[in-house]
């Protein structure tokens, strides 16, 4: 969302009609929805914060990739 709105929080608030609840939302990276095959909707969200938003996202991608990689251990 940050890229889509160029970091413009006001445009984001107006586009989605957030009004006074706008402070409850962020348009910055660092969150990834988790979906499970055969299950409807999002089952979880992984969020990382504290680094640059692309680095936050990168941490999630690395960890999820490692988690999904076959370990070879039975």
Over residues 28-47, the pLDDT tens digits come to 777 888 999 999 999 999 98
Q: How many domains does the chain have?
A: 1
Distance CA 69, CA 74 (A): 13
pLDDT at position 11:
85
What is the domain extent for residue 23?
A: 2-68
**73 lies in some domain:** no
* pLDDT higher at 44 or 6: 44
Q: pLDDT band at 66, cuts 50/70/90? A: very high
DSSP 29: S
Distance CA 48, CA 24 (A): 17
Q: Which of 20, 15, 45, 19 is nearest to 30 (CA)?
A: 45
**7 lies in some domain:** yes
| pTM of the complete model | 0.58
Answer yes or no: is pLDDT of 74 > 60.
no
Distance CA 2, CA 68 (A): 28
**51 lies in some domain:** yes
Q: Which of 45, 4, 9 is nearest to 25 (CA)?
A: 9
**74 lies in some domain:** no
């Amino acid at each position: 969302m940050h890229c889509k709105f160029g970091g413009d929080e006001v445009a984001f608030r107006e586009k989605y009609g957030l009004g006074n609840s706008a402070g409850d939302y962020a348009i910055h990276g660092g969150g990834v929805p988790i979906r499970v095959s055969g299950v409807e909707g999002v089952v979880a969200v992984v969020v990382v914060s504290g680094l640059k938003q692309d680095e936050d996202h990168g941490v999630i991608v690395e960890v999820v990739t490692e988690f999904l990689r076959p370990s070879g251990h039975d």
